[in-house]
């Protein structure tokens, strides 16, 4: 049994390339580790930087052959498409404003794409990518990594199975403090591009972490936003984009919501949390303590679910990697998103029919919804924090 599995994985091991992720890139390194986590994909090509010397330097460090360290993503897409051993998919880890053209180029060359979030800076661009992927019959993933937590998947299953009843209200927050000072003026490259509207797009904190809230709540609950009212604040002097946002929401079906995202919340590291209130109970999840889930009921004692100890739904249990008491965290969740995407690519390459369960990763349509959320929040705030249709 073990030998059969091993040979199967070797037969279907995928080759992938990366655009971005050069020297000093935090998220590029996370993507590489996540993609390779389960041994089903290996990095074989890249255009890691606009500076070819830096691409060659990164490639040498990662074991990528010099001939497959390209001067541009255009050259990479064209040459990899022509190779018999060309990449099966590309991972895009560049600033937001470049996602559209890079992703479009690889799709046009017949290569599957997985891209960091937010997908693009304009809704029309994201919708074009989603349509192009469907036209080319290619897979497209967007790395909203928090959907990869086993207890996120268990929460999704509980809500689908009516464990807390009809949802009445959702409160979600994502506070950080890393931009509480003008770090962008102190040589921090990530802060510099994330606070630059030319690279980051029209949203600051609402684009960077507010979009995570939108996607996470959507994944857990299945709720669809009908309208929202946003007030986006900029507290750090000299900064152009928002660093704090408060958003009220109406969902189809009558549920309400309140989201708060902040990158000036001193004392908070990466505290994404969600509380979902139904008419029979509630669920509470904290990203910084992702191995536990609180479920409260109207008519019986509150429960605490422990990943690795308690029985989970099949999908959640299937991506829980180690026994209880051994914490799983961000890397594992990120890897679970990649694993779902990679498994789908493997099935597609093998000529097998993909099922609904195979698409348990954020796709281009989810990415487009995230861009729409950012755009509507900015629109609402610019008009004086008024309600706008979604």
CATH number of the domain that 245 lies in? 3.30.360.10
Q: Where are the alpha helices (DSSP H) in 235-329?
A: 314-318
Locate the DSSP E strands across the chain: 14-20, 41-47, 89-93, 112-115, 140-142, 167-175, 225-233, 244-251, 256-262, 273-278, 281-286, 292-297, 303-306, 387-389
Cβ count near 71 (within 10 Å):
14
The pLDDT value given to residue 244 = 98
d(CA 33, CA 43): 10
Do the domain assignments include residue 360?
no
CATH number of 33's domain:
3.40.50.720
d(CA 357, CA 315): 9
Shared domain check, 314 and 286: yes
Shared domain check, 154 and 30: no
The pLDDT value given to residue 3 = 39
Do the domain assignments include residue 193?
yes
Exposure string over 279-316, b if 16+ CB within 10 A, otherwise e: eebbbbbebeebbbbebbeeeeeeeebebbeeebbeeb
Band (pLDDT 50/70/90 cuts) for residue 24 is confident
Tokens of 209: 């972490």
Shared domain check, 176 and 136: no
Q: Are strands 244-251 and 281-286 parallel, antiparallel or unpaired?
A: unpaired
Shared domain check, 212 and 75: no
pLDDT in tens, 70-79: 999 999 999 9
d(CA 117, CA 114): 10
Mean pLDDT of 90-107: 98
Shared domain check, 191 and 261: yes
Shared domain check, 152 and 100: no
Q: Work out how many domains the chain is built from and give that number.
A: 2
Shared domain check, 172 and 127: no
The pLDDT value given to residue 192 = 95
pLDDT in tens, 337-377: 999 999 999 999 999 999 999 999 999 999 999 999 999 99
Shared domain check, 373 and 224: yes
Which range of residues forms the domain containing residue 138? 2-146
Q: Are strands 244-251 and 225-233 parallel, antiparallel or unpaired?
A: antiparallel
- Rounded to two decimals, what is the model's pTM? 0.94
Count helices and strands (H / E) in the chain. 14, 14
> Does residue 118 have a cis peptide bond before it, meaning omega lies within 30 degrees of 0?
yes
Shared domain check, 40 and 134: yes
User: Are 159 and 222 in contact, with CB atoms under 8 Å apart?
Assistant: yes
Locate the DSSP E strands across 117-234: 140-142, 167-175, 225-233
User: Are 269 and 176 in contact, with CB atoms under 8 Å apart?
Assistant: yes
Do the domain assignments include residue 287?
yes
Shared domain check, 123 and 167: no
Tokens of 73: 């993503």
């Amino acid at each position: 049994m073990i030998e059969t599995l091993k040979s199967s994985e070797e037969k279907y091991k995928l080759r992938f390339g990366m655009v971005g992720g050069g020297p000093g890139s935090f998220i590029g390194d996370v993507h590489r580790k996540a993609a390779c986590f389960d041994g089903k994909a290996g990095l074989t090509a890249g255009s890691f930087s606009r500076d070819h010397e830096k691409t060659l330097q990164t490639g040498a460090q990662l074991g990528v052959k010099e001939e497959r360290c390209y001067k541009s993503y255009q050259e990479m897409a064209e040459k990899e498409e022509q190779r018999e051993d060309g990449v099966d998919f590309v991972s895009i880890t560049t600033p937001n404003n470049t996602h559209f053209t890079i992703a479009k180029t690889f799709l046009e060359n017949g290569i599957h794409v997985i891209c960091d979030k937010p997908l693009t800076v304009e809704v029309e661009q994201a919708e074009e990518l989603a349509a192009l992927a469907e036209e080319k019959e290619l897979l497209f993933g967007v790395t909203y990594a928090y959907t990869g937590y086993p207890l996120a998947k268990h929460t999704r299953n509980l809500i689908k199975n009516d464990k807390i009843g009809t949802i009445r209200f959702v409160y979600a927050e994502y506070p950080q403090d890393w931009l509480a000072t003008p770090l962008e003026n102190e040589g921090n490259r990530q802060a510099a591009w994330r606070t630059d509207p030319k690279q980051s797009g029209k949203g600051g904190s609402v684009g960077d972490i507010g979009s995570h809230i939108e996607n996470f709540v959507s994944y857990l609950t299945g709720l669809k936003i009908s309208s929202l009212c946003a007030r986006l604040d900029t507290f750090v002097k000299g900064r152009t984009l928002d660093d704090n946002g408060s958003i009220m929401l109406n969902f189809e079906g009558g549920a309400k919501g309140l989201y708060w995202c902040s990158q000036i919340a001193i004392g908070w590291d990466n505290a994404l949390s969600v509380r979902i209130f139904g008419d029979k109970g509630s669920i509470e999840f904290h990203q910084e303590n992702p191995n536990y889930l609180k479920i409260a009921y109207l008519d019986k004692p509150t429960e605490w679910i422990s990943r690795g100890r308690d029985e989970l739904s099949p999908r959640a249990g299937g991506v829980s990697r180690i026994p209880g008491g051994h914490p799983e965290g961000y890397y594992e969740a990120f890897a679970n998103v990649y694993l779902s995407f990679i498994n789908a690519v493997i099935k597609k390459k093998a000529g097998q029919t993909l099922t609904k369960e195979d698409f348990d990763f954020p796709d281009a349509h989810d990415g487009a919804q995230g861009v729409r959320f950012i755009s509507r929040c900015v629109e609402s705030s610019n008009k004086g924090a008024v309600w706008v249709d979604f």
